Each structure stands twice: as structure tokens, then as C-alpha cells.
Chain A
Amino acid sequence: MAIDILMPALSPTMEQGKLAKWLKKEGDKVKPGDVLAEIETDKATMEVEAIDEGVLARILVGDGTDNVAVNTPIGVLAVEGEDASKAVASAPAAPAAPGQTAPTPDSQSEGMSETSSALGRGGDTSPDALPAAPSIISSRSAHDAMAEIPEGTEMVTMTVREALRDAMAEEMRKDPNVFVMGEEVAEYQGAYKVTQGLLQEFGERRVIDTPITEHGFAGVGVGAAFTGLRPIVEFMTFNFAMQAIDQLINSAAKTLYMSGGQLGAPIVFRGPNGAASRVGAQHSQDFSAWYSAVPGLKVVSPYSAADAKGLLKSAIRDPNPVIFLENEILYGQSFPVPKLDDFTVPIGKARIHREGKDVTLVSFSIGVSYALKAAQELEKEGISAEIIDLRTIRPMDTDTIVASVMKTGRCVTVEEGYPQSGVGAEISARIMEHAFDYLDAPVIRITGKDVPMPYAANLEKLALPSVAEIVQAAKAVCYR
């Protein structure tokens, strides 16, 4: 029986990719381990290896085809004894059975989670729906969304990954004291390709591969910052920063105070934070609330590419230690970014992502995408939701939250972190302190569940906040 060769997913965030070229042609004999084709994403090039023995009967997707969705049959393999010319795909839309096509990661790096794609994650509205490509921009008020951007500015579409890279490159061009260090940031071009091209432009003096030694290189970064250099320290993920958290808190955050203002640490710690997809409990944790508890730190967690770029530039220039929490799922998503010579976004200012009058949804990072989808659902039911993207967790823009709640009288917070002592808990407390009399209903927190992240796809989905939960909560606070 013929076997479909499917477009593989190379990372949790990959939804589609380019079929760069076939290395076998129709009629070629194939044995397990043979490289059949090369595929590309904005992040990486990978080889598709054969698992089964047979003859490449048909090529369904030709060389150089862009935007091939994951799991699309790209070819048909005829097994032994079968007439290759008659082999047909059995089920064009069959999901990829594990191991049918095996991407060969070029590294065993911990951070690269070459598992199934992010399809069906918490962001969808029903269990079976596929997430639409983010069409967030069109659905929000241009005025509020682009408050920092002069009218008439040309916008270019780019991924969050590219925006972060551009922010670093621009700041490195401006200031010779800025350098990047971390695991795989140089030769490998970044475990998630965020530092792509930096080594080529700035050389090994300023783009530094470290050994796998988080505690040590975090301390090295802080020491260098004490002398006035401006390190950008990349953690392959913030899960690994747990090894280094003493240097972040005790050395980076506290020294300015302990020195009576003499010695600060102008340093950025950045990397993906929170859950990726199917990487289990130790690799799926949101640290926003943890770092936001610490005086002496600034904590930033952007959603869009424009904010990622503008905020990272501000973070690099900031004289204080900044914890810059990115999101792996968002890396590959595209947004319009203003084409300006020096576009920055101020730290500590939330953004009204969408105006509304009935309920305020407060979120940050990937949570904003859930809130946006929920707002669309709510719209259909006649509920007008206002969405606040915090962008900065510390210092928190309480004013913007309070002003919105005074208008709507209702609030739902959305985050992927744990419920206890979470960012939502903090927001609730601030609303009670500053807008209690304006509340028409208790604040509801939508959070990740109070469990370590499970691996199983269905359980993981349950552990994360969902659009349905947000919709339900928003209706509840509106007494609907």
C-alpha cells in the first residue's frame, strides 16, 4: 500500500513552511534514512528523511513551493511489490502518524522542541478548530493601537522573531557597549533563530556563545554590567534561568539599592517564557509573576512584533535590569511594524488594544491573542470587550487598567501562569484598591491551571487558558 509523505512540523510553532527542494525524483528507490527533501521556515532549514523503504512514486508538491501547510501530503511512496505508477495517496488529509516523516534536527539542543505543531492549542474556540492566522491588527482601533507611531508611517510586516533581532542589531550599531551572550546565540544563530545574522554583522567579540552554564554566565553578564557594559543575556528559555535566578535577583536587582545608588546593572535578560507546545512541565512555565514580585527589576512581556521591537530597544537602553519575557509560539507570527529609524515603545505603558464598553480584558504576551478571539466571540453576543495589553508587568500601568474598569465596571484577567499570586491576582488587588466602587462584578482571573504542565495533548490544552473560558467569564461578570 502506498504511503503518504507528509509535510512535517519542525517546531511547536510551525504551521506551514516552504518545500525548498526534492533530493529524490519520481521513480527513485528510497531506503530508510535517505534524505528525501529539504524544507524551510523562517527559522531553519531541515531535511525530510524517509522512514520506509520503497520507491518515490509521486511528487505532489514541487520544488520551491511556499506556504505548504503542515501535514499536507507532499509525495507518495510505493512500497515493495507495488506498481509505483499506480500508487495513489490513500487519504490526502490524513494526520501525520508519528514517525512517518522524521525531521532531523541539526542539534539536540534542549530548547528546540521539534514536536507537533501548535495546532489546536488553547487559542481556538472549539476543540476541533484550527487557529486562524492572527488577523489581530485589523480588528483593533488603529488610533489606540498605534499611539506611539506617527500618522502616515509605512508599516512592514515581520515576525516577532525578526523584530527582536532587528531591535538588537539597531542597538548594537548605536552603542558599542551592547553585546549578546547566551547558548547558541552566535554560530547556531540562536536556538530559536532570534539572533540570526548578528554574528555575521558584529563578530564574535560582541555575539558570544556561552557554555551551558546559566548560573555562571548570568553572573558574568551582571558583573560586566556593573562596569557599564550593556549585556543582552539570552536564556534559551526562562525555564533554564531558574539555575541563574540568584544572580538575577540578588545581584542584578538589588545592587543599586545596596550600594546606595552607586552601582547599577544595565542588563537585559531575554528569552522565551511560558508554555511552548507539548514540552512538558519543566519546559512550560510562565515566570511573569515571579519576576514581577521583585523591586529593582523591570519586567516586560510583549505580544506584537512592533511592541517586541520597540520594547526591546527601550530595555537595552534602560539603566536597570530588565527581564524580557518572550513567547515561543509568537516568534513565528507576523505583525505590522512601523518603518522608522528609531522606533521605541516606553516601558511601563499598557496599550488599549481594542476599545470596548462592557468589560475589560487585561492580558499580556500570548494571552492577548486569546483575549482578541474572545472579544470577537463576545461581539457576536452583543458584548463589547475592551482589551488592555499590559506589555510591561513591572512597573504595572495601573492607570490604564483603572481608567478602563471605571468605564466598563467589569474585568477579566488572562494569563498562562499559575493562579496563586499571579499577575491576575495583582491586577484584581489593584482594581479593588483603586476602583472598588466602580466594580459591578467581582474580577475573574483566567489563568493556567494550578498544575504542572502535562504532556498529553488533551491535558495540556485543558491546563492552558482557553478562549471559551474567557468568553464564559466575560459573560459571567456581565451577568449574562
Chain B
Amino acid sequence: MAVAARKANKSTPNKTPARKATPNSPQFDKGQDLSAYREMLLIRRFEEKSGQMYGMGLIGGFCHLYIGQEAVVVGMQLATREGDQVITGYRDHGHMLACGMEARGVMAELTGRRGGLSKGKGGSMHMFSKEKHFYGGHGIVGAQVSLGTGIAFANHYRQNGNVCLTYFGDGAANQGQVYESFNMAQLWKLPVVYVIENNRYAMGTSVNRASAQTDFSKRGVSFNIPGEQVDGMDIRAVYAAGQRAVEHARSGKGPYILEMQTYRYRGHSMSDPAKYRTKDEVTRMREEHDPIEQVRRRLLESWKLSEDELKAIDSKVREIVNEAAEFATHDPEPDPSELYTDILLEAH
């Protein structure tokens, strides 16, 4: 069975539908392109540094990098307003940075230090920030979909006008509780946007090998949830779709599904040699569709920024990342007494 599957994979390379050409992508002004560039670059550099530190043995366990997918979360954040919540799965570093959580706190959590966002007790997959409305960081594939629906339920219960962005991948999209959540969200018209980050591989299994319906924007059809496919490598397209989706949810019309067609450049986790795809495929995506490169080109060509000006941004970003790495390397481990704290809250 496994052999047959592998064979099939070899003979029919992963045929993801061609990405939508985006000639009609809404335009960004200079300020938008600049901040998009800065934020995406921060995630890229942060993740590269994480990979490096993992290699040095400073980060343990599972570490899932977001490199290649930056436009999705940065573009979606542009479409939100203060109070809107974010919840995602285990590939969460980018989401935290986009929510404004401090790079040093994230990095120190990756290294398991006391200055980490979860005091070193959560790790790569488990970080949270009430202040930034980031609800994790969840390691069980698909669990965040019910949880995010519950956060949206709370918004609806309180009538506070907030929307919960609930991210999950093409792999999680096949979990049962996703559909249980879709049903309730539409039944109760909950303000939730389901952002399916289709990076084409659920760990090592390509979308074609795992999904009977590979158009994820249609996964809500039987619940009458509208959906659209979005070029997740073009931040302008992400932003425009995000605005439509968030507006739909906020106005009381219920959930909305966005399939973000994106791509991760690195393996599923640090220990994944990614033999299930060709080098060419990865190279092609990087060269032709890189989300950061697209913005960079616009900054140079349309907005006439100089290479030096971009370099200045780059070095600022590097500074933040290096400072975070420095902190995460030297911050002490949690005090042993922390072993027995934060298990239960004191009842009053």
C-alpha cells in the first residue's frame, strides 16, 4: 500500500492547480508596501535564525518554520482591527510576530528559557498573548479550529464586534472537528474567518494524495459557507480577500473560508529532509513567487527606493532578530520551582 502510494506520487507529480494570475491585485501604496516588507522580512529572518539555532542545539523538540508563507499572516493582520483574535496550529512563529508579540519572548520560548512567552514551559507550538489577542499555538492538528470557533462564539455572546481569525493547514482541513465547527459557526452565524494555509503538503503527504476535494475554498459548501481561493504569495491579494472575509464575519453574516495558496520552503519540521518533493519545485516557487521578493521589487521599481534604503530596513530587522537570539541564548532556564506552578489557578 505504502509502496503503491509512493509510486503514484512519483509518476504523477503534485499537480496543484496553477496559481491564479494576479493582474488585478489591488495596489498597495508606498507605506503599505514598506510595512509589509518590514514585517514579512522580520518573520523570514526570525525563522532563518530559529533554524540556525536549532542546528546548534539551542532549540529542542519540534520546530516548524513559516518561511515562504509570510504574506498570509501579515496580509491578514492588515485586514483586522484591535480586538480581533488570532488562533493557529503548531506552525505559529509568524503569527505571533505578526500579532506584535516580541521577537525576544518568542525566541526565548523556543530555547526554553524563563523569559519566554510561556516561561519556557510551552515551547515552539504553545505560546499565547492575551494582550495581543493571540490564543495559541496548538499542537494537536485541527484542535484550534473548534477553539477558534469558540472564541468567535464568545464574540457573538458578548456582541463585541470582534472577529476571530482561525488558521489551519491543508492537512488539518481533513479533521472531523473542522466540519463540526463549520456547522456550528454557520448555524449560529459566528464571526470567524477560517484561513486555510494550503502549503501543498501535510507533513510529507501532498494535497492530491490526502484530499478528495483539493479546492479548499469549497470545503464549506455543504454548510453554505462562502469561500475563495487566494494567491497567498501576493500580500495584496491576501489583504483584499481578508478584508472581504473579515467584513462578512463582522457584519453578522457568519463564517468565511479563505484558502491561501502558499508554499513552505523548508521541511515540515527541522527533522524533515523533504524528499517528497523535488528541489526544482522549491526553487521555482522561491524564484517566481516569493512573497517578500514581490514587495521588494515594487519598492525598488515602483517606489524608487534605493538598495541602500532597503539594506537599512534589512539591518534593522537583523538587529531585532540578533538581539532576540542573544537574549534567548543567555536568558536562564526556568527556576526548578516552576515545575509545579501554573497547573491550577487559585479558586476564590
Shortest CB distance B118–A (Å): 4
Check if A295 is an interface residue, CB within 8 A of chain B: yes
- CB closest residue in chain B, given A253: B343
Can you list, as one digit per residue, whether each of A257-275 has a CB less than 8 Å from chain B (1) or not (0)?
1111111100000000000
Shortest CB distance B86–A (Å): 12
Shortest CB distance A199–B (Å): 16
CB of A216 within 8 A of CB of B118, answer no
- Which residues of B in the span 141-162 have a Cβ within 8 Å of any Cβ on A? 143, 145-155, 157-158
- Which residues of A in the span 220-263 have a Cβ within 8 Å of any Cβ on B? 220-229, 246-247, 250-251, 255-263
A260 to chain B: which residues have CB within 8 Å? Answer: 116-122, 342
CB of B181 within 8 A of CB of A246, answer no
Can you list, as one digit per residue, whether each of A291-315 has a CB less than 8 Å from chain B (1) or not (0)?
0000110100000000000000010
CB of B176 within 8 A of CB of A347, answer no
- CB closest residue in chain A, given B342: A261
Size class of the contact patch on chain B = 35 or more
Shortest CB distance A256–B (Å): 5
A226 to chain B: which residues have CB within 8 Å? Answer: 135, 147, 150-151
B347 to chain A: which residues have CB within 8 Å? Answer: 314, 317-320, 347
Check if B140 is an interface residue, CB within 8 A of chain A: yes
Check if A324 is an interface residue, CB within 8 A of chain B: no
A227 with B154: in contact, given A216-B184, A219-B181, A259-B126 (CB under 8 Å)?
A: yes
CB of A261 within 8 A of CB of B135, answer no
Docked CA distance A210–B149 (Å): 13
CB of A259 within 8 A of CB of B136, answer yes
CB of A251 within 8 A of CB of B147, answer yes
Check if A217 is an interface residue, CB within 8 A of chain B: yes
Q: Select one of B140, B153, B180, B342 contacting A256, CB under 8 A.
A: B342
| Best-buried of A223, A255, A262, A319 by chain B (most CB within 10 Å) | A223
B146 to chain A: which residues have CB within 8 Å? Answer: 215-220, 222-223, 247
CB of B130 within 8 A of CB of A262, answer yes
B120 to chain A: which residues have CB within 8 Å? Answer: 260
Shortest CB distance B283–A (Å): 37
CB of B345 within 8 A of CB of A264, answer yes
B118 to chain A: which residues have CB within 8 Å? Answer: 258-260, 262
A418 to chain B: which residues have CB within 8 Å? Answer: none
A215 to chain B: which residues have CB within 8 Å? Answer: 146, 176-177, 180
CB of B180 within 8 A of CB of A211, answer yes
Q: Select one of B119, B143, B155 contacting A251, CB under 8 A.
A: B143
- Taking Cβ atoms with an 8 Å cutoff, the residues of B that contact A are 85, 87, 116-123, 126-130, 135-140, 143, 145-155, 157-158, 176-177, 180-181, 183-184, 187, 341-348
- Taking Cβ atoms with an 8 Å cutoff, the residues of A that contact B are 179, 205, 210-211, 213, 215-229, 246-247, 250-251, 255-264, 295-296, 298, 314, 317-320, 347
Could you write out 10 A-B pairs with CB less than 8 Å apart?
A216-B177, A219-B147, A219-B181, A227-B151, A255-B136, A260-B116, A260-B120, A260-B342, A261-B345, A319-B345
Given contacts A260-B120, A295-B343, A319-B348, 13 further A-B contacts (CB under 8 A): A215-B176, A216-B184, A220-B153, A224-B150, A224-B154, A227-B154, A251-B140, A255-B128, A258-B118, A259-B118, A261-B341, A317-B347, A320-B344
